[in-house]
Each structure stands twice: as structure tokens, then as C-alpha cells.
Amino acid sequence: MQRAAAAHVTVPRLLVEAALSETGETATDRSELRAEFFHARRLLAAVSNNLNQIAKATNATGEVQADLESTLHAVRAVAERLDHALHGLGERS
């Protein structure tokens, strides 16, 4: 019941999905993981764009831009999020 609640599905749905899966991974699990990766990819694209703009400005002025630290923090956050998602993949195998 806890796993069904965590996946926001009914217990019967969870049981059916788990029974039809060779690994015990449900379609809901895969859907959540796919959504997490797409979200991380969008974040990475946004952070990459910001970092590129910071690099251009730094190269043009020779001064380190003020938002460099927050951008690097965002890079670390996205990397941690990806690590967490990939760790979840390892637990499912």
C-alpha cells in the first residue's frame, strides 16, 4: 500500500504492472524516471546556456561575472539530481 501511495496509483494497478514486468518495475516507475530525466535535461540546457553567456561576458570584459557562483551551484544541483536518478536505476536491476 505504501508503494502504491508513493507511486500515486491504486494497489491493484501496482500489482498488475509489477506482475507484467520482468524486473518488478512498473510502468508508473518508468514514467516517473523518464519525466525526471527530461526535467534534468531541460535544466542542463538552461544552465549550459547561462554558463555560455557568463563565459562570453567574462572573455569580453576580463572580469568574473557575479552570477558565476549561482550558475555553478545549479550545475552541481542538476548533477546531483542525475546521480540520484541513476542510483535509482541501479536499485531496480
In this prediction, residue 93 carries a pLDDT of 47
What contacts 3, CB < 8 A, 6 or more positions away?
A: 14
Euclidean distance between CA atoms 50 and 81, whole angstroms: 19
In this prediction, residue 23 carries a pLDDT of 66
Per-domain boundaries in the chain: 27-92
29 pLDDT higher than 80: no
Q: Is the pTM of this model over 0.85?
A: no
| pLDDT class of 56 with cuts at 50, 70, 90 | very high
| Average of per-residue pLDDT across 44-71 | 89
